[in-house]
Amino acid sequence: MLKRLHEDRPAATVTIEFEGEKLKVLAGETVVAAVMAAGAAFVRTSAVSGAHRAPYCQMGVCFECLMEIDGVPNRQACMIPVRDGMVVKRQYGAMELDYE
Amino acid sequence: MKHSDVVVVGAGIVGASIACGIARQGVRVVLLDKRKAESRASLGNFGLVWVQGKGQGARRYAEWCHQASREFPEFVRQLLDETGIDIQYRKPGGLVLSHGEEEYLKRVTVLERLRSESRDGTYDCEMLDRQAVQRLTPKLELGANIVGASYSPHDGYLNPLALLRAVHVSFRQQGGVYHADSPVKRICYEKDRFVITTPQGQHSAEKLVIAAGLATESLAAMVGINAPVIPERGQLMVSARVQPMLSIPVSGIQQTVEGSFIVGLSNEKIGINTDTDSAIIKRMASRVRNAFPALGGLRIVRTWASLRVLTPDGLPIYQQSEACPGAFAVTSHSGVTLTPLHMNQVPEWIMKDIVPAEFDNFSSRRFHVEAVA
């Protein structure tokens, strides 16, 4: 289980929705940090093997943290700060290409 | 100094497949590689096994590519049996789209030329109209400007990284010896054997094969072979994985077995330069959108550039040295496509002097400058 280094420090929070569940998370942190701190365990499944995947580099390089954010699939959740009211889902397998 | 029967210089796909084919004959082979993580065409390429359109004005090359394509399925089966590595080979045929009437008519001319130059007046590649092309790409609607395409059943694709690895694994299984970090500095020909010097030491062998990509020219010169090569930059981009939508390679656009789209639609002769250029990447992206508007929704995750190895006329070179018999130079832009022949026919030529028909078309003597009286 992941823990924040400074759990006791007072901080501003926002509320996001993760897989249909409301989460109170720290303002300014990244989406993937927020959901992992809330105990998400995995954030996507592999497009090749279907295996569960969790974030690795958390600096925009490895593409392990792809999630669906506000209806947009395959977003790098380590590069996007949380925003109040954000809707976040796991990315299951390869995204559908839905282009207007 | 270690002695072996054959030293192959160059461990990209051309050198490695020849070395592997020779090792399969039970011969002691040493394979010398410049550096392990060296950028090379074998690692940077698109992975096409491509036949259509090749060999205009050079019938033997068109035939050589067709022969390779015919031998590919069996070659892949054998490689899988030996190594357990699936190189993700698929042979759905291939399309070259015509963006507008003018491109369509140009393509018709190319196919007519290949047909008229062929031995029996046939060339197995046909023009399809827009509806027929759309049937081959049912999940992706064609752009408004696409009027048709040429289609060959002989084209296909594979994973080039897996191919190179599988050939290396097979080579070692046959008892072949591989040395990384061994750029060749000097080659001496003394009393029917070659002494090859690298920073790691010396190797000697009765036969020597040079198949070192862009380094072929300078190395072949050491054994008296003129093998001119020119780098040509190709830029590529790869997308995030998406659901399967395209099962046939379409002029520089292809979806891999894992779901990524690869796009490679550029060629520039600008010397040794592997930078990417956003203006060209942008042009490639807009051509993709013109072909299949829905692909505008792809997310590109990486771009890179790699260097093709071209001879002045684009045809391969297969040449034995006249000054130093037993030394051979091989270079080809179609390194992936020709792999089965490099594994099977070329070793017969090198080891047993069994020369494939009309092989002298690929002699580097064609580049000799005539002396002016």
Average pLDDT over residues B20-26: 97
Per the CB < 8 A criterion, the answer to whether B108 and B149 are in contact is no
Residue B141 in this model has a pLDDT that exceeds 60: yes
Helix (H, G, I), strand (E, B) or coil at A35: helix
Where does the pLDDT of residue A11 fall: very low under 50, low under 70, confident under 90, or very high at 90 and above? Answer: confident
Look at residue B372 in the predicted model and tell me its pLDDT: 52
Look at residue A7 in the predicted model and tell me its pLDDT: 74
A and B: number of Cβ contacts within 8 A = 35
Look at residue A10 in the predicted model and tell me its pLDDT: 79
Q: Is B139 on the interface with A (CB under 8 A)?
A: no
Look at residue B370 in the predicted model and tell me its pLDDT: 57
- Asked if A99's CB is within 8 angstroms of B240's CB, the reply is no
Query: What mean pLDDT, rounded, does chain B reach?
Result: 95
Where does the pLDDT of residue A77 fall: very low under 50, low under 70, confident under 90, or very high at 90 and above? Answer: very high
In sequence order, which residues have a C-beta less than 8 Å from that of residue B151 and are 6 or more positions away?
A: B52, B93, B94, B95, B125, B126, B127, B128, B132, B133, B136
Average pLDDT over residues A33-47: 95
Q: What percent of chain B has pLDDT over 90?
A: 91
Among the residues of A2-61, which ranges form H helices? 31-37
The pair phi, psi for residue A5, each rounded to 5°, is: -65, -35
pLDDT tens by residue, A41-66: 999 999 989 999 999 999 999 999 99
How close A51 comes to chain B (CA, Å)?
A: 14
Partners of B327 in the β-ladder: B208
Tell me the residues of chain B between 230 and 259 that have a Cβ less than 8 Å away from chain A. Answer: 240-243, 245, 258-259
pLDDT tens by residue, B45-90: 999 999 999 999 999 999 999 999 999 999 999 999 999 999 999 9
Residue A33 in this model has a pLDDT that exceeds 90: yes
Residue A6 in this model has a pLDDT that exceeds 90: no
Partners of B234 in the β-ladder: B306
The more confident residue out of B115 and B369 is: B115
Look at residue A4 in the predicted model and tell me its pLDDT: 82
Average pLDDT over residues A75-90: 97
- Asked if A96's CB is within 8 angstroms of B298's CB, the reply is no
- Asked if A99's CB is within 8 angstroms of B241's CB, the reply is no
Q: What is the pTM of this model?
A: 0.91
pLDDT tens by residue, B152-164: 999 999 999 999 9
Q: Is B355 on the interface with A (CB under 8 A)?
A: no
Q: What percent of chain B has pLDDT over 70?
A: 98
Partners of B236 in the β-ladder: B264, B304
Residue A78 in this model has a pLDDT that exceeds 80: yes
Residue B38 in this model has a pLDDT that exceeds 70: no
Where does the pLDDT of residue A96 fall: very low under 50, low under 70, confident under 90, or very high at 90 and above? Answer: confident
The more confident residue out of A10 and B10 is: B10
Residue A100 in this model has a pLDDT that exceeds 70: no
Q: Count the Cβ atoms, other than its own, within 10 Å of residue B198.
A: 18
Look at residue A2 in the predicted model and tell me its pLDDT: 83
CA distance B344 to B164: 16
How close B235 comes to chain A (CA, Å)?
A: 21
The pair phi, psi for residue B313, each rounded to 5°, is: -105, 5
Q: What does the block give as tokens for B295?
A: 């692909």
Residue B211 in this model has a pLDDT that exceeds 70: yes
Look at residue B37 in the predicted model and tell me its pLDDT: 60
Tell me the residues of chain B between 28 and 87 that have a Cβ less than 8 Å away from chain A. Answer: none
Mutant choice from B243, B289, B295 vs A, greatest count of A C-beta within 10 A: B243
Helix (H) or strand (E) holding A16: strand A13-18
